[in-house]
Structure 1
Amino acid sequence: MSDMQPHRFRAILIDLDGTLLETAPDLGDSLNRILRSVDRRALTEAEVRSMIGDGLAKLIERGFAATGGIPEQARYDELLAAFMSDYTANSTVRTHPNPNTIAFCTAEQARGVKLAVVTNKPVIPSKVILDANGFTPLLTALVGGDSASAKKPDPAPVRLALRQMDIPAEDAVMIGDSPADVGAARAAGIPVATYRHGYTSVPVDDLGADLVFDDFADLGAALTKL
């Protein structure tokens, strides 16, 4: 990582779930506890991974839709609140950084590159996870699904992160794993690289990113191509 080639970007915006961290195990455990509480079947981890990317409310909606249908609104709201409480309390049990993400972020920060996490997950559970896994000291900004006027793929979260870092769009790049990440980057006018081993319901090579990469150890050098 110390021999990483310099790239042109002054800021890197990174998605959280599936890109920076492997969060599906804890998300799935919390979701399955809620599903079992109303006599629904448990989801497999593969099913959960395919449902992540558009925020926690959308995840639980998809979980109910896949196991018998979405409950009536009042009951659904209760179950969503129960899920949020359960996940906030259990979001760091099995969650861990993806390979070489800490080293990548540390090297980029040392070079003076500003780092932001831009996620559709709410800020509070996002910060808990980032704190527990050692990322918070490396970040200049954290934009959650409740930070901006809309979630990814809307460009609002990306633009908010850029404002918080005081970086123009032409000096930034987005790193993600899903249609939401690619859509937000495109709408905000910044290039985007996608992580091959993240969470997406669309094949990663079909997302239309500027770059697809397999390992964060190689990302710094790969960004020189953009």
Structure 2
Amino acid sequence: MARIDGIIFDKDGTLFDFHATWSVWADRFLHDLAEGDAAFAARLGRAVGFDTTTKVFDPDSPVIAGTPGEGAALLAPHLPDDVVEGLVERMNREAARAPQVEAVPLAALLAELRGRGLRLGVVTNDAEGPARAHLEAAGVADGFDAIIGSDTGHGAKPDRGPLLAFAEQTGLAPAHVAMIGDSPYDLSAGRGAGMVCVAVLTGPIPADRLNPLADAVLPDIGHLPRWLDDRKSGKV
């Protein structure tokens, strides 16, 4: 069994609890776009797979693991031209200010993992700017060797490009890197890159959808140290 020398984390739904963060943000953002018109906000929500009544994303929503550009493309047909212009920039600007709810206490977990000699990275389909803002607000940006967004220049998940970019930047063999994520995009990218794939359940995708794609499914990233220990001892 290959040793693990590095870990790549997805951001939303992995480092940060998806529902506690993005369901709240999406409801506010859609109502802002609709200028307070609840029926219009609901229509915009349906376009991106978000229910403004229950404030929950559909597990099949294309924006869960998508890029800001993909989300904007779904909203654009329902918006006036003057709003569509600059929509991606507006989404990134507003997203950068979204309060993030940590899935587990991140500083302590990252310190433990770095103490084991692991190289750590973030690969997200969010833009790099908001991603860095979120990690800096949580006080953990310096804990990562690389922070790669969908606009960094290596492509976006489910493509393997950004994951391989992390491996190249850190000098690690992909087979010795674990990709940790909450969506099929994360796991497909990890599989394509030849990495170990670990799913967590702090996003909107249920375990039965993740099990076939993952080498392991954990409740949250706080279980990683135990998983690493069990893997090293041959228990998993």
Contact 2:119/2:144 (CA < 8 Å) preserved in 1? yes
Partner of 1:211: 216
How far the C-alpha of 1:32 sits from its partner, in A, is 1.8
Partner of 2:33: 35
Are 1:45 and 2:55 matched, yes or no?
A: yes
Q: State how far apart, in whole Å, the 2-side matches of 1:215 and 1:126 are.
A: 20
Are 1:17 and 2:25 matched, yes or no?
A: no
User: What is the CA deviation profile of residues 99-157 of structure 1, one whole-angstrom value per residue up to 9, with x for unaligned ones?
Assistant: 24433211001111110001011111110100010211211111111113420000000
User: What is the CA deviation profile of residues 30-65 of structure 1, one whole-angstrom value per residue up to 9, with x for unaligned ones?
Assistant: 532443238422535312774321122223444x38
Q: Specify whether residues 126 and 48 from structure 1 end up closer, same or farther in structure 2 by C-alpha distance, changes over 3 A only.
A: farther
Q: State how far apart, in whole Å, the 2-side matches of 1:109 and 1:17 are.
A: 21
Q: State how far apart, in whole Å, the 1-side matches of 2:200 and 2:106 are.
A: 11
One-letter identity of the residue aligned with 1:104:
L
Most deviating of 175-184 and 23-32: 23-32
Q: State how far apart, in whole Å, the 1-side matches of 2:197 and 2:106 are.
A: 17
SS at match of 1:148: coil
Contact 1:178/1:202 (CA < 8 Å) preserved in 2? no
Partner of 2:91: 83
Partner of 1:168: 173
How far the C-alpha of 1:204 sits from its partner, in A, is 4.0
Contact 2:15/2:221 (CA < 8 Å) preserved in 1? no
Partner of 2:132: 127
Are 1:222 and 2:227 matched, yes or no?
A: yes
Q: Specify whether residues 166 and 25 from structure 1 end up closer, same or farther in structure 2 by C-alpha distance, changes over 3 A only.
A: same
RMSD over aligned CA atoms reads 2.7
1:54 to 43, 62, 66: 66
SS at match of 1:37: coil
Contact 1:34/1:83 (CA < 8 Å) preserved in 2? no
Q: State how far apart, in whole Å, the 2-side matches of 1:212 and 1:80 are.
A: 33
Contact 2:167/2:173 (CA < 8 Å) preserved in 1? yes
How far the C-alpha of 1:201 sits from its partner, in A, is 7.8
Most deviating of 37-46 and 108-117: 37-46
Aligned pair count reads 213
How far the C-alpha of 1:71 sits from its partner, in A, is 4.0
Percent identical residues: 26
Contact 2:66/2:125 (CA < 8 Å) preserved in 1? yes
Contact 1:52/1:59 (CA < 8 Å) preserved in 2? no
Contact 1:34/1:79 (CA < 8 Å) preserved in 2? no
Partner of 1:3: none
One-letter identity of the residue aligned with 1:10:
D
Q: Specify whether residues 201 and 85 from structure 1 end up closer, same or farther in structure 2 by C-alpha distance, changes over 3 A only.
A: farther
How far the C-alpha of 1:73 sits from its partner, in A, is 6.8
Contact 1:145/1:151 (CA < 8 Å) preserved in 2? yes
Q: Specify whether residues 77 and 24 from structure 1 end up closer, same or farther in structure 2 by C-alpha distance, changes over 3 A only.
A: same
SS at match of 2:159: coil
SS at match of 1:193: strand
How far the C-alpha of 1:165 sits from its partner, in A, is 1.2
When normalised by structure 1's length, the TM-score is 0.81
Contact 2:179/2:197 (CA < 8 Å) preserved in 1? yes
Q: Which runs of 5+ in 2 are unaligned?
A: 43-51
How far the C-alpha of 1:75 sits from its partner, in A, is 4.8
Partner of 2:160: 155
